[in-house]
Structure 1
Amino acid sequence: MHERLQRLRAALAERDLPAMLLTAPTSRRYLSGFTGSAGALLISAEAAFLLTDGRYTVRAAAEAPAFTLREVRAALKPMPKLVAELAVELNLTRLGFEAAAMTVAEYQQFAQVLDKTVELVATENVVEGLRMVKDAGEIELLRRAAAITDAALAAVLPALTPEMTEREAAWRIEVALHDLGADGPSFPIIVAAGRNSARPHHEPGHDRLGEGQPIIIDMGARLNGYHADLTRTIVLGQPDDTFRTVYAATLEAQQAAIRSLRPGLPWSEADAIARQVIETAGYGRGIAHSLGHGVGLAIHEAPWLRITAPDAPPGPPLQVGMVTSVEPGIYLPEWGGVRIEDLVLITEEGCELLSHAAR
């Protein structure tokens, strides 16, 4: 955690911020190791405080030994008042905060207590920028989460039958994830059969899996806070000609994008490569989302493999240590859809697949 704190402090110095209040759960965990569901970090050039309530003080002391613990007390010392006291203690006149993690109501509470003696400075993507490149420990957790995901899918696929409902299949996958050591699913599991597979984020219902139709399964294991993300599209029985052609175009798009991934490639270019393959195959109208997204402590985080506006710059470059999904999809409302997704680690040589489930 010391190295992460030093990187954050360097980022704050670049922004001329003497301190920052961090309230996003992923920021708390990444910088301190604290896994509780409530609290905040206040970090300056010299100090690091973890602010949480009595439910978590014992856990906080064990999980975040590098931080000084200060207890939040709902009536006597709520979070804004505690932050105001620390601002005086640290002689702060400016304090950064995570704009995406703080509500308007919370901002107003802090502003009222600080009473213009401390300027609140909205920031974006400070910690998110640090989290984009994974360290060795994070990569190992992502490998293990991906391996559990692969194994869970392999365990469940032979048990699927045409009479089974989407919801039943999703539950079997969730149980398998737990049985294989996951803390839980990374997100609500998607099982979408037939025309439901044309809805990228379909919620499993009572429709049966059926025969001869596409079935999208989107799943992932969560392990020690880190997420995996995997999608396969299958058919029970014999696929029709549409499935064969749509699947082939989706797979070709994914493989072309994966071959392109390397350090220095702008985020948007991989999306453009996959998109071109799908459009050339005649299914451009079936594109409903970007190529992929970073995966780590959040299931969706930077880098974002998506196109940019024609007059906009191509976006930041990929870096060694980034982990991203690669998940092109083709969705035809009158028929169904196909999506194929794997996790990929950016390496010095190009990239490495972390997902190994059979297609």
Structure 2
Amino acid sequence: MDKRSHLQRVEKLQKTLKKEKIDALLVTQPENRRYLSGYTAGDHGIQETSGILLIPSSGKPHLLTDSRFTLQAEEEAQGYQVQNYPKGPIKLLKKLLPSLDVATLGFESNYTLHSTAARLSKMAEKTGITLKPVSEMIERMRIIKSEEELELLRESTRLNEQVFKMVFNSIEPGMSEREVALAIDLTMHELGAEKPSFDTIVAFGTNAAKPHAVPTDKVLETGQLVLIDMGLIYKGYCSDMTRTFIAGKPDSTFKNRVRIVRKAQLAGMKAIRSGASCKDVDQAARQVIKDAGYGKAFQHSLGHGVGIAVHEEPRLSPMSRKKLKTGMVVTVEPGIYLPEWGGIRLENMVIVKKNGYELLNKDTTFLDL
């Protein structure tokens, strides 16, 4: 993604800041930071940042960081004024904000630590600046993907499927969940991914009844159920896919249950179009599983948005009040989870279109039995 795309996003954000009468906004959420600047450095923890964006309502944006990241920031955040804070960001802001005539400073309330907000508040009192908590301002920009972003999501999904095919051919009884997960992660790197978009899930047998199972030393046996949930980051954009299969010949029980989950997935996708309620899409898939007698075994929402973060808005959930719009990207991932048996989840990604959807996943292996 080129420099112009990031600066166009900054300009769009600046229009919103003017409308909201905010003179500048501090951006600390890592995905929002990358979305606006192209700066890829990650945070080692919520208390340790690799940089903060200061976006004034007009003029050049700033990236505030320390000497460890200066060169990377200057290379990646083109169009930004990079400034170091050897004594921490608050002391730099105390000097910088008055020079930019900032009277009202916004901050991301959903991500800012209470301790950081307290320090900002003290600084604001001393400088006469008014603090204004901001929620979802940048996330609302991210929810509709540009054609450039959609192409990156298509490529991320294609690469994810390629990794799955390569690793699947090497899976055999005797391998552990950890070994398969490691093979997936290594193959992602070998094929050019930045990294997994989340911790890869590999679950055998009854472990697959845990929707977010953590790979263990459990060894695969012939005839055992295998659930793999995997995703990668390609040029900043995420993919997310789940496949469930049997190591060997599937029995009638598995075939029956996987067909129910697949039917639910197709029903959910059929309900997707611009203007559709996220709640109704979830219900379309959930009803199929309920009618089959497994309603209580579908324990989570149908899906979530995917973009520069692997979990973002909108949510295909019984509790959602949002409606889908053209250009949104969501997962469709119904499941059945039975502690004494295991679990099945099938997950694809789709782009919301005016009268339907575009399926990003091209490989239907293990979806139709």
Kindly report which structure 2 residues correspond to 1:66-105, keeping only aligned pairs within 5 A, or say none.
66-73=79-86, 75=87, 78-105=88-115
2:337 corresponds to which of 302, 312, 331: 331
2:39 corresponds to which of 20, 23, 34: 34
CA deviation after TM superposition for structure 1 residue 239, in Å: 2.2
Q: Which blocks of at least 5 consecutive residues in structure 1 are unaligned?
A: 309-313
Kindly report which structure 2 residues correspond to 1:308-347, keeping only aligned pairs within 5 A, or say none.
308=319, 315-347=321-353
CA deviation after TM superposition for structure 1 residue 283, in Å: 0.2
1:114 corresponds to which of 120, 124, 138: 124
CA deviation after TM superposition for structure 1 residue 347, in Å: 2.1
CA distance in 2, matches of 1:41, 1:337: 43
Secondary structure of the structure 2 residue equivalent to 1:115 = helix
Amino acid at match of 1:44: P
1:149 corresponds to which of 140, 155, 160: 160
Alignment-derived partner of residue 188 in structure 1: 199
Please give the TM-score of this superposition, normalised by the length of structure 1. 0.94
Equivalent pairs counted in the alignment come to 351
Amino acid at match of 2:20: R
1:20 corresponds to which of 6, 13, 25: 25
349-358 vs 141-150, greater mean Cα deviation: 349-358
Amino acid at match of 2:7: H
CA deviation after TM superposition for structure 1 residue 150, in Å: 0.5
CA distance in 1, matches of 2:342, 2:150: 34
CA distance in 2, matches of 1:158, 1:43: 49
Q: Which blocks of at least 5 consecutive residues in structure 2 are unaligned?
A: 1-5, 43-49
CA distance in 1, matches of 2:313, 2:149: 15
CA deviation after TM superposition for structure 1 residue 339, in Å: 0.1
CA distance in 1, matches of 2:186, 2:65: 33
CA distance in 2, matches of 1:10, 1:260: 35
How many percent identity over aligned positions? Answer: 39
- Answer yes or no: is 1:65 the counterpart of 2:71: no
Alignment-derived partner of residue 43 in structure 1: 55
Amino acid at match of 1:152: V
Kindly report which structure 2 residues correspond to 1:206-245, keeping only aligned pairs within 5 A, or say none.
206-245=217-256
- Runs (4 or more) in structure 1 with deviation over 3 Å come to none
Please give the TM-score of this superposition, normalised by the length of structure 2. 0.92
Secondary structure of the structure 2 residue equivalent to 1:137 = helix
Amino acid at match of 2:160: T
CA deviation after TM superposition for structure 1 residue 348, in Å: 3.0
- Answer yes or no: is 1:270 the counterpart of 2:277: no
Q: Can you list the C-alpha shifts for 1:15-66, whole angstroms capped at 9, x where unaligned?
A: 3322211111111111111112311111122131111111222222221222
Secondary structure of the structure 1 residue equivalent to 2:254 = helix
CA distance in 2, matches of 1:239, 1:255: 21
Conserved? CA contact 2:177–2:204, under 8 Å: yes
CA distance in 2, matches of 1:170, 1:64: 34
Amino acid at match of 2:234: L
Conserved? CA contact 1:146–1:355, under 8 Å: yes
Q: Can you list the C-alpha shifts for 1:178-199, whole angstroms capped at 9, x where unaligned?
A: 2222122111111101100000
Conserved? CA contact 1:213–1:240, under 8 Å: no
CA distance in 2, matches of 1:83, 1:49: 11
CA distance in 2, matches of 1:303, 1:335: 32
Alignment-derived partner of residue 5 in structure 1: 10
User: Over aligned residues, Cα RMSD in angstroms?
Assistant: 1.4
